[in-house]
């Protein structure tokens, strides 16, 4: 596309100046007069009946406000998809750290002593902590079968393919929990007023999720609940559902005390009590022809949802749909299942199920390559989806995507072939073994299936009295660049300078519901609506005769000012309209799963040190097709940041569980990559002319989380010749595998 002035430029981040000067206002930077501080007393056991809650009579309780489940004015649940998660445990607990009691005081230093002065007696019940325990059903901890949700994708005739196969390749792959580890902990402030109802300010992704939850919990009408997003210091999915819980707690304390209440988690509370990436187990059984073509197969994808359903069904959905990777499966049966365990509920984290099932798929492709006797490159090339073919859900690929070409470019950029040959020689001597690994994958943008139709998002653009323009959305900025890109789109659509467009603070009283800020949907789906709404403003002014069809920015400003002076306001609302002819069957899980896919080939170069068993990623090439890149610096930032999190997922970040509780909930013992741990992450975009969303952009945010873990583990196998099918893969895991191999050799 040509002639665009603002889209495609790396304009300054809208709120960037405030962020580099320290002026940006996060929730902990805000105080209200008379404000109390709130704290949460939580379950110390994974499962049991609460027998008694007692308050130490020696402790001075008079200045404290306390809240239990019986103080809840509405329904004791965090309304989300299902309503099974209580806001405060009432009678029983189902996971460690489950909230039981709330307290507030004007002096935050006294809260810990007060929490220590509460004792809770339990009658413990047997608990389960793993997918396997949950499946064995020795205990029923949720529903009648410990199962939150199942999906079945069935294409063709899988049962008929096994006899036609030259090879049947099986594998089992697992991934661990991962903490989002935004640097700003969760926090909110709630204030209650009999006239106005509840107002919550917070660090959050989805203002209208919190709004919905508070209406049910506090038994208030929609217009008596207001949710305002403050500047948010990272989220990555981790502030998608849990802020509704914290907001609920602060709201209950505020309603009971009549004073504003601030709850800010410290790092340990945030890490041990709030959501993480779902642990997963994937089993593959694949029928392959002698020339390396996938004939068909079965995939069983299972995730551990923790104690309550929360978002598990949708995480499972995305993971199940992505389980077949970017390959053509003539016949396939994919079973997805989310099970209950007595751990805190797992939740959203960038990628949302796809990094788990794609890790399995991409490890399995390397295994198939070995069995067939072709290279990892060749096995992928022979099975890539091509335009006109269908995905596992029988969605026809209509995009002009050439995965072979993408693969060739990634191999060239990474020097794959030459390095692989060189390492094969060099690895014969010395303690450092090097290897190359690739991952090829896709990521669907926007809500799955009918999701966008159900959401029916709305977006506003309004003219202001000074002639400038403001974008009105509930879509939130938490680092990705929402503010900047949506303003770029509006400015482009209106032919105005970027500086003439601002974006409103997300406030449920002020902005329409443009949906949650999740699922790589903001630029593609919300961005398109911003463009439509902006065009609506222009059309209004032209139709009113205040603006001619070609205008200068100064003429636009004058027309805008005049229109507002005469009519009071100038506002245009655009609503999501599902494209026609899009077929999706929610029951059979068949049809157009996503409006668009992003595609990628990632190449990792690793060095394994046989003295320390540590792995260093020495080079990383991330090549992707995401449609049009609207802001090169932000897009690069999304990819590099996602790859860094993916490297953490693969090599560093291990949640240590004991009786369902995270034992290493600190930054000192849960290790994320530092600036000294990462390679140069080299980012490349390939635009293949696929036009979606506003000005041609597809989703980008989650994609980079999918590829690093399998690319790195594939590279480790290439370096060592040892197979690893689990992440995280820490030096002690590698040491153990090597020791076992040595012992096995000795016993032979």
Partner 1 sequence: MTDSSENRGKCEISLTVNGKAKTVRVYPMERLLDVLRQELGLTGTKEGCGEGECGSCSVLMNGELVNSCLVPALQAADANLTTIEGLAEGPQLSALQAAFLECGGAQCGICTPGMILASCHLLNKKPEPTLHDICEALSGNLCRCTGYMQIFDAVAQAARRRNPA
CA 86 centroid distance within chain: 23
**Closest approach of Cβ 147 to partner 1, in Å?**
33
Instruction: Report the candidate in 276, 381, 391 with the shortest Cα–Cα distance to residue 322.
Output: 391
Per DSSP, the three-state class of 729 is coil
Query: Which residues, 470 to 489, sit near partner 1 by CB under 8 A?
Result: 478-481
Strand stretches in 156-310, DSSP E: 167-175, 187-193, 197-202, 225-229, 261-264, 280-288, 294-304
For residue 181, state whether it binds partner 1 (rule: CB under 8 A): yes
Tokens of 542: 């032209």
**Closest approach of Cβ 112 to partner 1, in Å?**
13
Smaller CB separation from partner 1, 172 or 618:
618
**Closest approach of Cβ 676 to partner 1, in Å?**
4
For residue 573, state whether it binds partner 1 (rule: CB under 8 A): no
Stretch in the footprint of partner 1 (CB under 8 A) among 374-382, 535-543, 570-578, 640-648: 640-648
Q: What angle do CA 454, 459, 460 make, to 5 degrees?
A: 155
Smaller CB separation from partner 1, 26 or 684:
26
Stretch in the footprint of partner 1 (CB under 8 A) among 51-59, 359-367, 427-435, 641-649: 641-649
Q: Which residues pair with 627 in a beta bridge?
A: 697
Tokens of 139: 């205990």
**Closest approach of Cβ 639 to partner 1, in Å?**
8
How far is 476 from 237, CA to CA, in rounded Å?
12
For residue 701, state whether it binds partner 1 (rule: CB under 8 A): no
Q: Taking CB under 8 A as the rule, which mask of x and - marks residues 33-72 in contact with partner 1?
A: ----------------------------------------
Smaller CB separation from partner 1, 29 or 291:
29
Smaller CB separation from partner 1, 447 or 670:
670
CB 709 within 8 A of CB 727: yes
Smaller CB separation from partner 1, 100 or 681:
681
Smaller CB separation from partner 1, 259 or 557:
259
For residue 404, state whether it binds partner 1 (rule: CB under 8 A): no
How far is 551 from 554, CA to CA, in rounded Å?
8
Residue of 4, 9, 28, 92 interacting with partner 1 (CB under 8 A): 28
For residue 666, state whether it binds partner 1 (rule: CB under 8 A): yes
How far is 447 from 699, CA to CA, in rounded Å?
11
For residue 585, state whether it binds partner 1 (rule: CB under 8 A): no
Q: Taking CB under 8 A as the rule, which mask of x and - marks residues 7-26 in contact with partner 1?
A: ---x-xx-xxxxxxxxxxxx
For residue 643, state whether it binds partner 1 (rule: CB under 8 A): yes
**Closest approach of Cβ 578 to partner 1, in Å?**
32
Stretch in the footprint of partner 1 (CB under 8 A) among 123-131, 145-153, 425-433, 668-676: 668-676
Smaller CB separation from partner 1, 440 or 482:
482
| Size of the chain in residues | 748
Residue identified by tokens 């598990």 is: 312
CB 407 within 8 A of CB 599: no
For residue 112, state whether it binds partner 1 (rule: CB under 8 A): no
How far is 105 from 72, CA to CA, in rounded Å?
19
Q: Taking CB under 8 A as the rule, which mask of x and - marks residues 129-168 in contact with partner 1?
A: ----------------------------------------
**Closest approach of Cβ 699 to partner 1, in Å?**
17
Smaller CB separation from partner 1, 156 or 234:
234
Residue of 144, 425, 549, 668 interacting with partner 1 (CB under 8 A): 668
Smaller CB separation from partner 1, 374 or 672:
672
Query: Which residues, 672 to 691, sit near partner 1 by CB under 8 A?
Result: 672-676, 678, 680-681
Smaller CB separation from partner 1, 24 or 117:
24
Smaller CB separation from partner 1, 14 or 443:
14
How far is 62 from 55, CA to CA, in rounded Å?
12
Query: Which residues, 189 to 248, sit near partner 1 by CB under 8 A?
Result: 231-236
**Closest approach of Cβ 705 to partner 1, in Å?**
12
Smaller CB separation from partner 1, 10 or 505:
10
**Closest approach of Cβ 644 to partner 1, in Å?**
3
56-72 CB burial, b ≥16 within 10 A, e <16: eeeeebeebbbbbbeeb
Smaller CB separation from partner 1, 397 or 672:
672
Residue of 117, 667, 691, 738 interacting with partner 1 (CB under 8 A): 667
CA 619 centroid distance within chain: 25
Q: Taking CB under 8 A as the rule, which mask of x and - marks residues 91-110 in contact with partner 1?
A: ----------------x---
How far is 549 from 732, CA to CA, in rounded Å?
68
How far is 617 from 605, CA to CA, in rounded Å?
6
Smaller CB separation from partner 1, 17 or 575:
17
**Closest approach of Cβ 704 to partner 1, in Å?**
9
For residue 656, state whether it binds partner 1 (rule: CB under 8 A): no
How many residues sit in the footprint of partner 1 (CB under 8 A)?
57
DSSP H/E element including 316 = helix 312-322
User: Helices marked H in 586-686 — which ranges?
Assistant: 632-651
Stretch in the footprint of partner 1 (CB under 8 A) among 341-349, 523-531, 609-617, 635-643: 635-643
Q: What is the DSSP string of 103-126?
A: EEES-TTHHHHHHHTEEEEEEE--
Residue of 89, 169, 640, 711 interacting with partner 1 (CB under 8 A): 640
604-614 CB burial, b ≥16 within 10 A, e <16: bbbbbeeeebe
How far is 30 from 202, CA to CA, in rounded Å?
10
Q: What angle do CA 612, 615, 618 make, to 5 degrees?
A: 130
How far is 402 from 599, CA to CA, in rounded Å?
10
DSSP H/E element including 365 = helix 354-372
How far is 565 from 556, CA to CA, in rounded Å?
14
Smaller CB separation from partner 1, 62 or 668:
668
CB 544 within 8 A of CB 561: no
**Closest approach of Cβ 357 to partner 1, in Å?**
24
Smaller CB separation from partner 1, 479 or 707:
479
Name the DSSP class of 159: G
**Closest approach of Cβ 664 to partner 1, in Å?**
12
**Closest approach of Cβ 516 to partner 1, in Å?**
17
Q: Which residues contact 144 (CB under 8 A, 6 or more apart)?
A: none
> Dihedral sign, CA of 401, 490, 485, 319?
negative
Stretch in the footprint of partner 1 (CB under 8 A) among 41-49, 374-382, 431-439, 667-675: 667-675
For residue 516, state whether it binds partner 1 (rule: CB under 8 A): no
User: Helices marked H in 606-725 — which ranges?
Assistant: 632-651, 703-706, 708-720
How far is 469 from 471, CA to CA, in rounded Å?
7
Pairing mode, if any, of strands 294-304 and 280-288? antiparallel
Q: Give the other-Cβ count within 10 Å of 157's Cβ.
A: 11
Smaller CB separation from partner 1, 22 or 430:
22
Tokens of 580: 């026609």
Smaller CB separation from partner 1, 548 or 669:
669
- Contacts to partner 1 by CB under 8 A: 10, 12-13, 15-26, 28-29, 107, 180-185, 231-236, 266-267, 478-481, 633-634, 636-637, 640-645, 666-668, 672-676, 678, 680-681
């Amino acid at each position: 596309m040509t002639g665009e002035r603002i889209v495609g430029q790396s304009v300054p981040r809208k709120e960037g100046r405030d962020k580099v000067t320290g002026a940006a206002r996060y929730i902990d930077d805000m105080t209200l007069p008379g404000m109390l501080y709130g704290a949460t007393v939580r379950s110390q056991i994974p499962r049991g009946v609460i027998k008694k809650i007692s308050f130490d009579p020696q402790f001075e309780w008079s200045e404290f406000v306390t809240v239990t489940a019986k103080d809840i004015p509405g329904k004791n649940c965090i309304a989300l998809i299902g309503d099974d998660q209580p806001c405060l445990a009432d009678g029983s607990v189902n996971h460690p750290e489950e909230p039981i009691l709330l307290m507030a005081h004007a002096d935050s230093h006294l809260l810990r002593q007060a929490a220590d002065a509460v004792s809770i007696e339990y009658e413990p019940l047997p608990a389960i902590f793993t997918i396997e325990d949950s499946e064995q059903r020795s205990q029923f901890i949720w529903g009648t079968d410990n199962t939150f949700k199942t999906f079945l994708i069935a294409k063709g005739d899988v049962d008929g393919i096994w006899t036609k196969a030259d090879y049947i390749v099986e594998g089992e792959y697992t991934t661990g929990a991962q903490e989002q580890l935004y640097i700003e902990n969760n926090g909110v402030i709630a204030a209650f007023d009999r006239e106005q109802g509840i107002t919550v300010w917070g660090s959050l992704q989805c203002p209208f999720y919190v709004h919905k939850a508070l209406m049910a919990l506090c038994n208030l009408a929609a217009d008596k609940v207001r949710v305002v997003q403050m500047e948010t210091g990272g989220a990555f999915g981790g502030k998608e559902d849990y802020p509704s819980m914290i907001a609920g707690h602060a709201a209950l304390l505020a309603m009971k005390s009549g004073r504003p209440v601030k709850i800010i988690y410290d790092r340990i509370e945030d890490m041990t009590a709030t959501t993480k990436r779902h642990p997963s187990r994937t089993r593959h059984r694949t029928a392959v022809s002698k020339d390396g073509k996938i004939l068909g197969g079965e995939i069983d994808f299972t995730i551990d949802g923790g104690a309550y359903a929360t978002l598990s069904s949708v995480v499972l959905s995305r993971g199940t749909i992505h389980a077949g990777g970017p390959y053509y499966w003539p016949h396939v049966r994919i079973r997805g299942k989310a099970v209950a365990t007595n751990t805190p509920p797992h939740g959203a984290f960038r990628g949302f199920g796809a990094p788990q099932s794609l890790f399995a798929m991409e490890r399995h492709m390397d295994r198939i390559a070995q069995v067939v006797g072709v290279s990892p490159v060749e096995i992928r090339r022979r099975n890539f989806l091509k335009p006109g073919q269908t995905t596992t859900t029988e969605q026809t690929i209509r995009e002009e995507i050439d995965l072979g070409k993408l693969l060739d470019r990634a191999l060239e950029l990474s020097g794959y072939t030459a390095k692989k040959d060189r390492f094969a020689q060099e690895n014969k001597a010395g303690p450092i073994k090097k290897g190359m690994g690739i991952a090829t994958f896709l990521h669907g943008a926007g809500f799955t299936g009918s999701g966008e139709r159900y959401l029916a998002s709305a977006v506003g653009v309004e003219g202001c009295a000074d002639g400038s323009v403001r974008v009105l959305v509930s879509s939130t900025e938490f680092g990705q660049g929402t503010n900047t890109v949506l303003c770029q789109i509006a400015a482009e659509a209106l032919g105005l300078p970027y500086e003439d467009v601002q974006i409103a603070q997300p406030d449920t009283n002020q902005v329409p519901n443009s949906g949650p800020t999740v699922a790589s949907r903001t630029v593609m789906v919300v961005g398109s609506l911003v463009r439509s709404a902006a065009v609506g403003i222009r059309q209004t002014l032209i139709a009113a005769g205040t603006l001619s069809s070609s205008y200068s920015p100064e003429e636009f400003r004058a027309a805008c000012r005049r229109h507002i002076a005469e009519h009071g306001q100038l506002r245009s609302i655009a609503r999501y309209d599902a494209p026609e002819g899009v077929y999706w069957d929610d029951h059979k899980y068949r049809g157009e799963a996503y409006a668009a896919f992003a595609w990628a080939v990632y190449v990792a170069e690793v060095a394994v040190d046989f003295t320390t068993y540590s792995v260093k990623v020495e080079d990383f090439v991330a090549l992707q097709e995401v449609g049009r890149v609207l802001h090169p610096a932000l897009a690069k930032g999304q990819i590099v940041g996602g790859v860094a999190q993916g490297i953490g997922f693969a090599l560093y970040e291990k949640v240590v569980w004991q009786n369902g509780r995270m034992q290493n909930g600190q930054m000192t013992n849960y290790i994320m990559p530092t600036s000294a741990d990462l390679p140069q992450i080299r980012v490349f975009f390939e635009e293949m002319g696929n036009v979606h969303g506003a000005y041609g952009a597809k989703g980008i945010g989650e994609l980079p989380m999918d590829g690093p873990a399998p690319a790195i583990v594939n590279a480790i196998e290439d370096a060592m010749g040892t197979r690893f099918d689990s992440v995280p893969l820490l030096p002690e895991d590698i040491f153990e595998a090597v020791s076992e191999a040595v012992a096995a050799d000795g016993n032979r």
